[in-house]
Structure 1
Amino acid sequence: MNVKEFLHTELLHVGEYQIMVFHVLALAGIFLGTKLILFVIYRVFLKQIERKNFDKGRSLAFYQIIKYVLIVVAIALGLETMGIKLTLLLAGSAALLVGLGLGIQQFFNDLVSGLVLLVEGTVTVGDIVELDGLVGKITEINMRTSNVATRDGIMIIVPNSKLVSDNVINWSHNREATRFKVNVGVAYGTDLETAERLILDAALNTEHVSKTPAPFSRFIDFGNSSLDLEVYFWTKNMWHIEYVKSEIRKRIYKSFNQNKITIPFPQRDIHIISGDK
């Protein structure tokens, strides 16, 4: 048996379709070729990201689009190689697709939302988002769902439609420092200028707090037991923001103790009236 006869050896016969050794080898070649092309493209993107020529999130989103396009092209080539005409396949399954579409509308909604996310780039891999009061980092965006890692190390699978249609706060969207605040109260009679200077120094001397823009403070209200102050600051370390706030509070508490400034606690006067028996 020569090579030509071997390639045309029939392996399976289904109706009018014949599966030969040639078809199997062609499918394997298409599969391996697609994997190799995707591997090369991924390595190129990684090098560009390491050189900081491209934004990581948008680069990975662009790679995902290329990946899905190549997969669709590979499937189409595989079907054509098997002798299955795509036009006939689509025409024959039109009614079935309509029925499936009515039953799995949410599934297709998530698929379309995935394409919107990849094309628009409003939410990309590495972004820190707040969704339904939950803060997490986008670790992966797939066609139907996205993976969101919380600060507790829990991985949440979120349908892409929620990231598109719901109100999502993207802390990293502007790629710059984000503003946060820390509240503190001081006792009535405290010199406010001294208190504001101390909380500003506490913020400025905390790691990960940006010097530009510089932190600033505000006297916000006369509280029931305290004069309420706020210190605003900017940081690029959004993922560990609670740790940054904790360090600022520690420095404020230490500075207030050193300067004899009291942080009051709620106090209540209780009047006891005793009646005659």
Structure 2
Amino acid sequence: MSTMKDFLQIELLHFGKYQIMVYHILALAGIFIATKLILLIIYRIFLRQIKAKNYDEGRSLAFYQIVKYILIVAAIAIGLETMGIKLTLLLAGSAALLVGLGLGIQQFFNDLVSGLVLLIEGTVTVGDIVELDGLVGKITEINMRTSNVVTRDNIMIIVPNSKLVGDNVINWSHNREATRFHVEVGVAYGTDLDRAEKLILSAALKNKQVAKHPEPFARFIEFGNSSLDLEVYFWTKNMWEIEYVKSEIRKEIYKAFNSNNITIPFPQRDIHIVSGGGS
């Protein structure tokens, strides 16, 4: 027993009035392993509830992140106390350091606070489809300072949380009803517009992603330079694949126009050459 006690009290490092002994390292390792196990158990509980559809996935993962950070902070505090480092002294020293750094870390703390706001309020959650600065992406992870967003091109973007809180963000996932989109097409001058409108409406309705209610509609929008311009409006809940939906509708329109001898004109110019008479 005394041999074990002597082993645990072997000094590994010494700085100032603080000593790091073997039992400090073992205690820290125990705290680390215990924290990881607790987090793993909590995470599996949340996953089980999500699969059972008892909880919303986005909010469940957000709540798990809050629990995770609380446990990590608690584990760090316990570890420091185990090392004999007084938290009151550490906090006092940190406060003086933060005052000294001043505005240099203002944005850093702004992102941290924004991350906490996102996790608590749930205005943006994991799995949401958002549009930020014209870029559409899906939230895959929300951390304390940054969030991970995957675009439709499968590009991972790391976004500071302050942008998700402070900037104008469109959260398409919060739209419970279908969202309206449109596809434009031009037809040659002289085309029967009523017939063309029926064809583009039929093309939109053939797509399974297009909602039947509200019903799609078509309208003639303007006299173009080389064409009569039409638009077909439709509603869909498939925001993530909307460009694919539009592409399929365009292909159906093209097929319908070809079958009915309706021309989609291309821009053209008439050039008149006037030759001047010699003096």
> What TM-score results when the alignment is normalised by the length of structure 2?
0.89
Does the CA contact (< 8 Å) of 1:145 and 1:157 recur in 2? yes
Q: How far has the Cα of 1:237 moved from its partner?
A: 2.4
Shift of 1:207: 3.4
Q: What secondary structure does 2:277 align onto? A: coil
Q: Once the two structures are superposed, what CA deviation does each residue of 1:224-268 show, in whole Å capped at 9, x if it has no partner?
A: 332222112222322222111111000011011112222222233
Offset, 1:140: 1.7
- Structure 1 equivalent of residue 195 of structure 2: 194
**CA–CA distance in 2 between the matches of 1:78 and 1:212?**
60
User: Structure 1: 5+ residue runs without aligned partners?
Assistant: none
Q: In the alignment, is the contact (CA less than 8 A) between 1:101 and 1:108 conserved in 2?
A: no
Distance in 1 between the 2:172 and 2:216 partners? Answer: 18
In 2, Cα distance between the equivalents of 1:175 and 1:231?
A: 22
- How far the C-alpha of 1:201 sits from its partner, in A, is 1.5
Q: Distance in 2 between matches of 1:55 and 1:43?
A: 15
**What does residue range 70-219 of structure 1 map to in structure 2 within 5 Å?**
70-219=71-220
Report the RMSD for the aligned CA atoms in angstroms: 2.1
Please say if 1:252 is aligned against 2:261. no
Residue type of the partner of 1:246? S
CA–CA distance in 2 between the matches of 1:41 and 1:194?
Answer: 61
Structure 1's 184 and 20: CA in aligned 2 closer, same or farther, altered over 3 A?
A: same
SS in 2 for 1:93: helix
Q: Secondary structure at the match of 1:261?
A: coil
Partner of 2:264: 263
CA deviations on 1:179-222 (whole Å, 9 max, x unpaired) are: 22111122333333322221122112113223333322222223
Give 1:12 deviation, angstroms.
3.5
Number of aligned residue pairs: 277
Quick one: distance in 1 between partners of 2:42 and 2:213? 38
Q: Deviations over 1:117-163 (max 9, x none)?
A: 22222222222222222222222221112222222222222222222
Name the CA distance, whole Å, in 1 between partners of 2:201 and 2:20. Answer: 76
Structure 1: distance between partners of 2:274 and 2:25: 96
Q: What residue number does 1:272 align with?
A: 273
Identity of aligned residues (%): 82
- What letter matches 1:177 in structure 2? A
Amino acid at match of 1:276: G
TM-score w.r.t. length of structure 1: 0.90
The amino acid of 2:126's aligned partner reads V
What SS does structure 2 have at the residue aligned with 1:78? helix
Distance 2:51 2:232 in 1: 36
Counterpart position of 1:59: 60
SS at match of 1:148: strand
Distance in 1 between the 2:33 and 2:216 partners? 55
Contiguous gaps of at least 5 residues in structure 2: none
- 1:14 maps onto 2:10 in alignment: no
From the superposition, tell whether residues 210 and 48 of structure 1 become closer, same or farther in structure 2 (CA, over 3 Å). farther
User: AA paired with 2:127?
Assistant: G
Shift of the 49–5 alpha-carbon distance from structure 1 to 2, 3 Å rule, reads: same
SS in 1 for 2:131: strand
Counterpart secondary structure, 1:104: helix
Partners of 1:42 and 1:95 lie apart in 2 by 37
Whether 2:38 is the aligned partner of 1:37: answer yes
